[in-house]
Amino acid sequence: MTTRPPPLTIGGREFAWGRRTYVMGVLNITLDSFSGDGLGYDVEAAVAQGRRFAAEGADILDVGGESTRPGFDPVSAEEEIARALPVIERLLAEVDIPISIDTSKSKVAKAALKAGAHLLNDVSGLRHDPEMAAVPARFGVPAVVMHNQRGRPFRDVIGDIRSGLEASIALAAAAGVPRERLIIDPGFGFGWTVEQNMEMLRRLGELVDIGLPILVGTSRKSAIGAVLGLPVEERLMGTAATVAIAIARGADIVRVHDVKEMAQVCRMADAVVRTAAEA
């Protein structure tokens, strides 16, 4: 049996890897989310959704003020802060689960963490902004580092992911972020073909020996739509299948838009996978 990473405290809560799968609920404070759930400047709607997600079984709420869909329209750090910060501040007062800031800009990360956010989720793996790696070190918070394949040469799915993650882990170490505070994300949907995304899930277990908790975000993504021939609003069952497979292959956290349904998928998959691992 593979040894799981040691527990990690996020926002005062212990995440014990291997015991169960944790659910990260997505709060898109954007105008152009690929998933059709962008909440823009509607703070009340975002906070209501966050409260609902917490009640439905989310373990973390991930707040993002800039879309990361293919071909997204970049926004300034100031705009991103204006969208995300009011939501984060309200959620900190109204829910009792950790809040994550989804950004690749150090200025945004600093503002969110200064306000009280508990986790940094950077889809660039600390590689977009040269000042980003120092931010989680300064605030003493964990960070999700993702391998983003966009614009990078392809050689091998798992080999490319491993090399990208190794670069991010090295950046974090150089900035003073302890390795045990990192969570890795292979980057489903970020620069891969449909077939490569499927291969990533199939071979996800090959990343377990990195020794860090694994986050996977397949929810509603275009690869699911391509396989099933379905629009984004009809990808719930496809998402459920990918979440269950990711858990079976070693995922520790799943990032999802449909918290109630995916929390049930996690519980069912855990009843099979975690029990077998402990036997």
Domain that holds residue 28: 22-278
Model's pTM, two decimal places? 0.94
Would you state the pLDDT for residue 279?
A: 44
- CA 41 to chain CA centroid, Å, is 22
Total number of domains in the chain: 1
Would you state the pLDDT for residue 30?
A: 79
State whether residue 279 is helix, strand or coil. coil
Out of 255, 260, 267, 274, the active site residue is 255
Would residue 61 count as lying in a domain?
yes
Report the phi/psi class of residue 117: left, alpha or beta, with left for phi > 0 and alpha for psi in -120 to 50.
beta
Would residue 9 count as lying in a domain?
no
Out of 221, 249, 260, 267, the active site residue is 221
Query: Residue 61 corresponds to which tokens in the numbers above?
Result: 């709420």
Would residue 6 count as lying in a domain?
no
Would you state the pLDDT for residue 133?
A: 98
CATH code of 135's domain: 3.20.20.20
Would you state the pLDDT for residue 3?
A: 76
Would residue 43 count as lying in a domain?
yes
Query: Annotated catalytic, 260?
Result: no
Query: Annotated catalytic, 114?
Result: no
**Quick one: 130 exposed, middle or buried, by C-beta within 10 A (0-12, 13-18, 19+)?**
exposed
Would you state the pLDDT for residue 2?
A: 61
Q: What is the DSSP letter of 153?
A: -
Would you state the pLDDT for residue 73?
A: 72
Would residue 195 count as lying in a domain?
yes
Would residue 171 count as lying in a domain?
yes
Would residue 12 count as lying in a domain?
no
- Give the mean pLDDT per block of 10 residues along the chain (279 residues): 85 97 94 52 90 98 83 82 95 97 98 98 96 98 97 97 98 98 98 98 98 98 97 97 98 98 98 73
Q: Strand runs (DSSP E) across the chain, as ranges?
A: 8-10, 13-15, 22-28, 60-64, 99-102, 119-122, 143-146, 182-185, 215-216, 253-256
Would residue 127 count as lying in a domain?
yes
Alpha carbons 244 and 176: distance in angstroms, whole number:
35
